[in-house]
Amino acid sequence: MTATPAIEGWFTTGDQPALLGSRCTSCSTVFFPKTAGYCRNPRCNGTEFAEAELSRRGTVWSYTDAQYQPPPPYIPATEEYSPFALAAVQLPEGLVVLGQVADGFGVSDIKVGTEVELVVETLYTDESGERTIWRWKPVAADEEKSA
């Protein structure tokens, strides 16, 4: 079986995964997910965009935990639902991007201001293979392992 992004074109995979956004060529405003058509910056009339690989690290802006299973189209990873943490992460580009916190971490492992980095993990598995998604992993967890 192969691993495929659950949302094609929103992030890269490999050793240094990153979210993929758009940068307006007129005003340099960055958007995620990618945008087309017109710049959403109210002070800009730009209509052309370049792909932008966003920073892999950011800081937790807000967080919560999902104690109850979300409704469809959410697909739980296991037969029995397991709560997970969600983090809104502010990137150096000025964006705040929501995502799950990495497997093995919960709300007790993060707080506002915690530095996190983007990782790619399995969201679910179906008949054609693994479906992957980006998640936010506390940076301190990696630094403690290497110390």
pLDDT tens digits, residue range 12-33? 998 999 999 999 999 999 999 9
Give the per-residue pLDDT at 146: 52
pLDDT the model gives residue 56: 97
Whole-angstrom Cα Rg for the chain: 17
Q: Name which of 59, 83, 57 is nearest 69 in CA terms.
A: 83
Question: Looking at residues 122-147, what average pLDDT do you find?
Answer: 80
pLDDT in tens, 33-78: 999 899 999 999 999 999 999 999 999 999 999 988 888 777 777 7
At 29 the pLDDT is 96
Distance CA 139, CA 117 (A): 6
Range list of β-strands (E), 11-146: 20-24, 30-31, 49-53, 57-66, 84-90, 96-101, 115-126, 129-138
In this prediction, residue 140 carries a pLDDT of 82
Would residue 28 be called left, alpha or beta, if left means φ above 0 and alpha means ψ between -120 and 50 degrees? left
CATH of 56-146, one of 2.40.50, 3.10.20, 1.10.3470, 3.40.50: 2.40.50
Residue 141, pLDDT above cutoff 70: no
- pTM here is 0.87
Q: What is the pLDDT of residue 103?
A: 93
Greater pLDDT, 81 or 109: 109
* Domain-wise residue ranges, the chain: 56-146
Q: Tell me the average pLDDT across 132-145.
A: 81
